[in-house]
Amino acid sequence: MRRLIANPRVPFSLEVFLGFLFVALPFVEPEHRAQQPPSLVVRYRFTAEATYQDILVEGAKLRFTYFEDVKQKCAQWIEQSPCWTPADLTAKEATLSEEEGRDLLNPIQQSKFMELENVYGGAKEHQRYYAQTLTVELGGTVKEVTYQSFPDAAPPPELLKASVRSCLRSRRENLSGRNLPARNNWWS
């Protein structure tokens, strides 16, 4: 397993979440696929000085909001605050098919995501880190897991990595051809 190296300008891979969501579908019995799925909201969020990424899946709607530094305003940024403003953000939307919604829901239901700890990374009190969060609301139950990214941080659990890859894959597949930022090797 490769060691995750924290970089304030590059978050862990959103592809981790999206990949996870599609892994378990082949193992779901067909009779369970036909049942009415519970309501599902999934949100991945990471912000830093030169980065903003927010993937929100709510029902059949997928919304990806991000910052792409096309004007190079962050190239020489040294302040410990965002170089972007809300006006710099771009949002893309797509509608998920019923099958894509099940592909997103089934692995969450069958995994132990809702049993993960609330925080990973191991930052000490007052230590600087970049928070990357994955929030799942399933059938009225909400679970938010935060990964604290910093040099020498403990790696995130495989289940969290897989969940983020799945979310990223869904974003990429559903918004392909819509001028998204170049793919990064986050959470690899």
Digit-coded pLDDT (tens) for 119-178: 999 999 999 999 999 899 988 889 999 999 999 999 888 777 777 776 666 666 666 544
Where would I find the H helices in the chain? 16-23, 30-33, 98-110, 158-174
179 pLDDT band (50/70/90 cuts)?
very low
| pLDDT at 10 (0 to 100) | 42
| pLDDT at 178 (0 to 100) | 44
pTM for this predicted structure:
0.70
In angstroms, rounded to a whole number, what is the distance separating the alpha carbons of residues 97 and 188? Answer: 28
Residue holding tokens 């972007």? 84
Digit-coded pLDDT (tens) for 26-82: 444 445 444 555 678 889 899 999 999 998 988 888 899 999 999 999 999 999 999
95 pLDDT band (50/70/90 cuts)?
confident
| pLDDT at 169 (0 to 100) | 67
| pLDDT at 182 (0 to 100) | 43
97 pLDDT band (50/70/90 cuts)?
confident
The strand pair at 130-138 and 141-149 is best described as antiparallel
Domain extents for the chain? 16-174
Comparing CA positions, the residue from 177, 131, 173, 176 lying closest to residue 19 is 173
CATH top class, domain 16-174? alpha beta
